[in-house]
Amino acid sequence: MSTRYPLVLVPGMLGFIRLVLYPYWYGIIKALRRGGATVIAVQVSPLNSTEVRGEQLLARIDEILRETGAQKVNLFGHSQGSLTARYAAAKRPDLVASVTSVAGPNHAPSWPIIWKKIIRPTAPRGGCLRRCYGWSGG
């Protein structure tokens, strides 16, 4: 499992490194390190755009490269972390050896598109949404 470059774990939306006693990457870091990989979990803004998170990740990558002496990193993104990792790789391909995406929304349309094209046209007019939730369809 050892890799040529450090493995950088990028969390998804609301991601954290550790929440009280529960680590975000439960068991994964330990298993990868046991196999010989250099593994670093990073923290980026839990609720922000891909661009903001990507710039934060690029700053962390620079720090990791200085700390480890490596020339590149392997990015491992979960959920929104996949988009964050892809952003960083697109902006600085010279620093990224690979991107692995786990449960990332890489090919899915955004929620506004889903809402406008699929859900809203099929929602009952004046039905449960208005009666149950006071929603006017705006």
Are 25 and 50 in the same domain? yes
pLDDT of residue 132: 44
* pLDDT at residue 123 greater than cutoff 70: no
**How confident is residue 122, by pLDDT bands cut at 50, 70 and 90?**
low
pLDDT of residue 91: 97
| Residues 7 and 37: beta-carbon distance below 8 Å | yes
Are 115 and 86 in the same domain? no
Are 82 and 126 in the same domain? no
Are 15 and 63 in the same domain? yes
pLDDT of residue 88: 97
* pLDDT at residue 94 greater than cutoff 90: yes
Q: Domain count of the chain? A: 2
* pLDDT at residue 138 greater than cutoff 50: no
Are 94 and 119 in the same domain? no
Are 85 and 120 in the same domain? no
Are 114 and 67 in the same domain? no
**Residue among 42, 45, 83 at smallest CA distance from 65:** 42
Domain membership of residue 130 as a residue range = 109-138
Tokens of 25: 């990457």
Angstrom distances, CA of residue 33 to CA of 6, 27, 78: 11, 10, 18
**How confident is residue 108, by pLDDT bands cut at 50, 70 and 90?**
low
| Residues 88 and 61: beta-carbon distance below 8 Å | yes
For 20-54, write each residue's pLDDT tens digit: 778 888 899 999 999 999 999 999 998 888 899 99
For 57-93, write each residue's pLDDT tens digit: 999 999 999 999 999 999 999 989 999 999 999 999 9
What distance in Å separates the CA atoms of residue 78 and residue 45, rounded to the nearest whole number? 14
**What mean pLDDT is predicted for residues 125-132?**
48
pLDDT of residue 77: 94
Are 19 and 86 in the same domain? yes
For the domain that residue 92 is a member of, what is the CATH number? 3.40.50.1820
Are 102 and 113 in the same domain? no
Residues 6+ apart with CB under 8 A from 88: 54, 57, 58, 61, 75, 95, 96
